[in-house]
Chain A
Amino acid sequence: MIYEVFRQERKGQAFQHAGAFDAPDGAFAEAYAREFYGRRGESAALWVVPREAIASINEFADELERNYHRVDGYSLKEKLKEARERAHAAKNAIR
Chain B
Amino acid sequence: MVDLTNRAKLLLEIADDELILGWRNSEWTGIAPFLEEDVAFSSIAQNEIGHARALYELAARDLDTTADELAFDRQPEEYRSAPLVEIRFVPDWARTIARHYLYESADAVRVAALKESDDTEVAGLMAKIDREETYHRMHADMWIERLRDDPKVREALVQLWPYALGLLDKDLRPRLLERVRLELPEAEPIERGSHLEEWKALWDEMTMVRRSVTGATW
Given the contacts A24-B146, A27-B142, A39-B43, A32 and B135 also touching, CB distance less than 8 Å: no
**Across the interface, do B39 and A31 meet the contact criterion of CB distance under 8 Å?**
no
Given the contacts A27-B142, A31-B135, A36 and B39 also touching, CB distance less than 8 Å: yes
Tell me the complex Cα distance, A32–B153, Å. 22
In the complex, number of A-B residue pairs with CB atoms less than 8 Å apart: 27
Tell me the complex Cα distance, A23–B33, Å. 12
**Across the interface, do B142 and A31 meet the contact criterion of CB distance under 8 Å?**
yes
Q: Mark A15-55, 1 if CB is under 8 A from B, else 0.
A: 00000011110011001101110010000000000000000
**Across the interface, do B40 and A31 meet the contact criterion of CB distance under 8 Å?**
yes
Tell me the complex Cα distance, A83–B200, Å. 84
Given the contacts A28-B142, A35-B43, A23 and B36 also touching, CB distance less than 8 Å: yes
Chain B residue nearest in CB terms to A24: B146
B-side binding surface: helix, strand, loop or mixed? helix
Q: What is the interface size of chain A, counting residues whose CB is below 8 A from a CB of the partner?
A: 12
Chain B residue nearest in CB terms to A39: B43
What 8 pairs between A and B have smallest CB-CB spacing? A35-B40, A32-B36, A35-B43, A27-B142, A21-B36, A31-B139, A35-B39, A39-B43
List, sorted by A's number, 23 A–B pairs whose CB atoms are closer than 8 Å.
Answer: A21-B35, A21-B36, A22-B35, A22-B36, A23-B36, A24-B146, A27-B138, A27-B142, A28-B36, A28-B142, A31-B40, A31-B135, A31-B138, A32-B36, A32-B37, A32-B39, A32-B40, A35-B39, A35-B40, A35-B43, A36-B36, A36-B39, A39-B43
